[in-house]
């Protein structure tokens, strides 16, 4: 699937049809529209995803979750995966 990478300077939200279930390892995400399941495999990623709603950009959410600059690219890739499976959507004004 070809989709442009997540732009960290844009605002993103959890898709309104997605349910987030915290688990000891991170979280399970279920999309009621696509009926697909995703994992967040660590708690930092969950913190980022949770912070998206109050952040004006994905980068801001990473900062809020305490992600070091050197780790941002790795988490951007994880967010990419979530965008590709429609778990996250770009915020439209």
Partner 1 sequence: MTLLEAPPKQTPSPGRLVDMFEHGLDSPICLTWELTYACNLSCVHCLSSSGRRDPRELTTEECKGVIDELQRMQVFYVNIGGGEPTVRSDFWELVDYATAHQVGVKFSTNGVKITPEVAQRLASSDYVDVQISLDGATADVNDVVRGPGSYDTAIRAMTNLSDAGFTGFKISVVCTRQNIPQLDEFKAIADRFGAQLRLTRLRPSGRGADVWDELHPTSEQQRELYDWLVANGENVLTGDSFFHLSAYGSALPGLNLCGAGRVVCLIDPIGDVYACPFAIHEEFLAGNVRSEGGFQEVWRHSELFTRLRQPQSGGACTSCQFFDSCKGGCMAAKFFTGLPLDGPDPECVRGFGETALAQRAQDQAVPKPDGDHSHRTTRAERPRTRVAIPVSISLRRPDRPPVSACAEDPLAGFSPTQSDAGHGTGCAC
Q: Which residues lie near partner 1 (CB under 8 A)?
A: 17, 19, 21, 23-26, 28, 30, 32-42, 45, 74-75, 77-82, 84-85, 87
CB 57 within 8 A of CB 11: yes
Nearer to partner 1, 11 or 28 (CB): 28
Residue closer to partner 1 (CB basis): 43 or 93: 43
- Distance, CA of 35 to CA of 18 (rounded, Å): 9
Angle at 75 between CA 74 and CA 78, to 5 degrees: 100
Residue 34 or 93: the one with the smaller Cβ distance to partner 1 is: 34
């Amino acid at each position: 699937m070809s989709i442009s990478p997540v732009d960290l300077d844009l605002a993103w939200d959890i898709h309104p049809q997605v349910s987030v279930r915290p688990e000891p390892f991170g979280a399970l995400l279920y999309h009621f529209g696509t009926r697909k399941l995703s994992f967040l495999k660590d708690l930092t990623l969950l913190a980022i995803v949770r912070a998206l709603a109050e952040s004006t950009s994905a980068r801001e959410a990473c900062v809020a979750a305490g992600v070091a600059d050197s780790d941002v690219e790795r988490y951007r890739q994880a967010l990419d995966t979530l965008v590709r499976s429609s778990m996250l959507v770009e915020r439209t004004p």
